[in-house]
Structure 1
Amino acid sequence: MKTLKKIAIACALLVSIIGISAFICQEPDKKNTATGVAEGKSFAVLELFTSEGCNSCPPAEQLLEKLGKESAGKPIYVLNYHVDYFDHLGWKDAFGSRENTRRQQEYSTWLNSQVYTPQLVVNGTAEFIGSDEKAVRSAIASQLSIKHQGILSVSVHKTGKQIKVDYLSGNTGDQDDLILGLIQKNGSSNVLRGENAGLRFSHIQIVRNLQSVSLKQSSSGSREFYIPLENNMEKWEVIGIIQNRKTGRITAVDTAQVNQ
């Protein structure tokens, strides 16, 4: 008890001297060790599954962009996953990937839902038609009223086309994974064939790469991404999500901008 008391006093003095109100002082614990991040955060993570080959997807992408603009300064995070299962209908989506399709299939299992576009998932716990603005806004409001106990901090360092991501998490369980995503902030395409032939698409928050890390053994670490060669001039962001691999529920999120 004397030792703990001395630790508490030392920490209080350190907070007073440095003046960092978010500093977290606690006994070492590999499952609860993120400094500078407050517990009990509310947020809404919006994951839209879409394709340039889907003629019902443009309204959903427009809604996503609208919500993205409205969310500036708010804990609302929008992600645009282009799937690959429309590629055989005449137009190959340059932003689509099998990886994104697999993530949607995971949600199909977690939420007992069909695989379709445009599908929008909020915080890993509810899914809607991506263009249903009323339902999406209701889900966002509901999630922003919930305090999530997960803790996560991500930071990035870019060298050439390599991006190193450092992460630090806390309040996680044995079934929690860290999902790291490399996000291209903007992109566009002239669709020449398929259901949307003749249209020009502008996209935001495009998921270009995903990595999954188990947090069972360690709460901190680093991973690397590589920017696609043809997109070196684009703006990029990294997002981190703590997600339960059995239920899909998201309990923490953080982002870091990639400097040019």
Structure 2
Amino acid sequence: MRPVNILIISSVLVGLLIGMAAFVSVSNERMMKDVQKAKDSKGFAVVELFTSEGCSSCPPADALLERIQQDNQNKQIYILAFHVDYWDHQGWRDRFSDHKYSERQQQYANWMGLSTVYTPQVVINGENEFVGSNAGAIVKAISNGLEEQSAASVGLSARIEQGKLYIGHQVSDVGKDASLVLTLVEKVAHSDVKAGENSGRKLSHVQIVRQLAVIDANSSKEVEMKLPANFNENDFELVGFVQRNADGRIIAAGRNEF
């Protein structure tokens, strides 16, 4: 495996981001309406955020996606926050981090021909990537995804036995060279950060990926996942999507809210 080149967006950018906040807050009102106006269709938007509690540039991206989710409850928008682990040596270990999520981000770098990975990064439908605080580009890409017809589909079912989650799945029109990506998602969480770049801050998160599994999209085998200690059916959901292996494009998505 070739080494992962990591670009950490420096805390010196925080001042710039704060300075832009007033402009963004005004323009966001108009942009959010663009998402809300997206025509009803079979379209969808899978919005993957690569983030970390150790990254001082990440909270604005978390807040942006929280706003998008709040304002578009009835849209087929699937927000997934992957907390990467390469920030964990900077003074604060993110309790939601997992090396698998860093590997997933690196896979996107490979698909897209990027020389580095960074936080905060948003990838939409496996095709387009943006700095996670770039509200205009992110909202436009989400709107485009919602308006694009999708022939493929994903259906998910779930059962819980003896502290384990068993996921059933059914897909259609996905082709042969594709994977089914399954995620167990915690809807909301808060952390009091005691060290690192965000020391002293209380951070809010939405749609945190707590478990990840990737299988052949045409497999019929039930998938087993270990449940987090704080699992309850009201605070978690399943999100699954089909992704082409050749280029990473996501062609179908669905959820199960237990």
Same fold per superposition (TM over 0.5)? yes
Q: Distance in 1 between matches of 2:47 and 2:72?
A: 11
SS of residue matched to 2:147: coil
Whole-angstrom CA distance in 2 between matches of 1:98 and 1:251? 25
Distance across 2 between alignment mates of 1:200 and 1:93? 13
Task: Answer yes or no: is 1:240 the counterpart of 2:240.
Answer: yes
Residue 64 (1) aligns with residue 65 (2): yes
- Flag the 1:137–1:232 CA change in 2: closer, same or farther, 3 A: closer
2:190 to 188, 191, 200: 188
- TM normalised by structure 1 equals 0.80
Aligned match of 2:134 in 120, 132, 135?
132
CA contact (8 A) 1:184 1:206 kept: yes
The residue number in structure 2 matching 1:99 is: 100
The Cα of 1:64 is off from its aligned counterpart by 0.7
| Contact 1:156–1:257 (8 Å) recurs in 2 | no
Aligned residue for 2:55, secondary structure, equals coil
Aligned partner letter, 1:244: R
SS at 2:222 equivalent: strand
Q: Which amino acid aligns with 1:136?
A: I
What's the Cα RMSD here?
Answer: 1.4
Q: 2:161 and 2:217 mapped to 1: Cα distance?
A: 26
CA–CA distance in 2 between the matches of 1:49 and 1:71? 21
State which of 160, 163, 166 in structure 1 corresponds to 2:165: 163
- Which 4+ runs in 1 deviate beyond 6 A? none
Identity of aligned residues (%): 40
Q: How many residues align?
A: 216
What does the per-residue CA deviation read over 1:62-86, in whole Å, with 9 as the maximum and x for residues that have no partner? 0010011112011111111100000
Structure 1 residue aligned with 2:224:
224
What is the deviation of 1:145?
Answer: 1.9
**Is 1:150 paired with 2:152?**
yes
Q: Which runs of 5+ in 2 are unaligned?
A: 1-40
TM-score calculated relative to the size of structure 2: 0.80
Deviation at 1:158, TM superposition (A): 2.2
Cα distance in 1, alignment partners of residues 51 and 146 from structure 2: 24
Query: Which of these two proteins has the greater Rg computed from alpha carbons?
Result: 1
Structure 1: runs of 5 or more not aligned = 1-39
In 1, Cα distance between the equivalents of 2:245 and 2:69?
27
Q: Give the match's secondary structure for 1:144.
A: helix
Question: Within the alignment, does 1:209 sit opposite 2:208 as a pair?
Answer: no
- Paired with 1:195 and 1:130, the residues of 2 have a C-alpha distance of 17
Contact persistence 1:82–1:95 (CA under 8 A): yes
Task: Give the C-alpha shift of residue 91 in structure 1.
Answer: 0.3
Residue deviations 1:128-175 (CA, integer Å, cap 9, x gap)? 011111110111111122112212100112235221111011112221
- Please tell me the residue identity of whatever aligns with 1:222: E
1:179 and 1:213 in contact (8 A); partners too: yes
| 1:117 equivalent among 116, 119, 125 | 119
2:54: which partner in 1? 53
Residue type matched to 2:181 in 1? I
Q: Quick check: 128-137 or 138-147, which moved more?
A: 138-147
Counterpart residue number, 1:199: 201
Alpha-carbon displacement from aligned partner over 1:160-219 (angstroms, at most 9, x marks no partner) = 522111101111222111001111111111100000000011111100111111135x4x
